[in-house]
Amino acid sequence: MKHLDMECWPRRQQFQFFTQLDQPYFSLCADVVITELYHRCRRDKLSAYHAITHAIMTVCHQLDWTRWRIRGDRVVEHERLCAGITTLGEDRLVRFTRVPYCQAFAEFSRRMTCQSELAWKRPGLFDEEGDGDDAIYMSCLPWVRFTQMTNPMPLSPADSVPRITWGRYDSSGEEVKVPVAAQVHHGLADGLHLGEFYEALQQRINQCRHWL
């Protein structure tokens, strides 16, 4: 982790403006085409849920702004992130757990399976790893297809961890699509940055034959 030089940071004025607002977050939702990934996962008996999570995490490690976090009036940049995922316990109530990222999909998928199994049996909401901001918070709503999504966010102090949610697959046509919603702190990113995120995510998914 490193501290950004706030005096030389090109985004200093935007950061100062948006961090003074009572509600500094904004969100977008866009379709991502997962046709090849979806069919490869079905053919090879892989988890498409794990694959999409891994693709998002890979992209978030490529983009610097997804690794920035606000600490008071300063910003730090994490080198490595965890996937902060939601899963269900055996009581059908939500649990939060963290999965350390690794570049190899097979190992990352194994870690996701292990953490989900532990969360299924765990009575507590959080796992033992705590809830640090070196994460991307993610959840999946496989029951519904949506066109917009918002997440609960603390306002004081403001939380700068991105929230990314995706919904039910749409396989009604030749393409298989999934809605992906991203919610971020406007002090750290603009619409341009989220556009870059969606473009990079689509490219990563299009290249799934090389990493699945």
Per residue in 150-175, pLDDT tens?
A: 998 888 888 999 999 999 999 888 89
CA angle, 92 then 182 then 211, to 5°: 85
191-206 vs 35-44: helix crossing angle, rounded to 10: 40
pLDDT at 47 over 70: yes
pTM comes to: 0.95
Distance CA 202, CA 37 (A): 11
Per DSSP bridges, beta strands 25-33 and 177-185 are antiparallel
132 phi, psi to nearest 5 deg: -70, 165
Confidence of residue 109 (pLDDT cuts 50, 70, 90): very high
The answer to whether 205 touches 34, Cβ cutoff 8 Å, is yes
Three-state SS letters, 15-70 = HHHHCCCCCCEEEEEEEEECHHHHHHHHHHCCCHHHHHHHHHHHHHHHCHHHHEEE
The answer to whether 187 touches 19, Cβ cutoff 8 Å, is yes
Domain spans, the chain: 23-210
DSSP state of 143: T
Give CATH superfamily name and number for 23-210. Answer: Chloramphenicol acetyltransferase-like domain (3.30.559.10)
Share of the chain above pLDDT 70, in %: 99
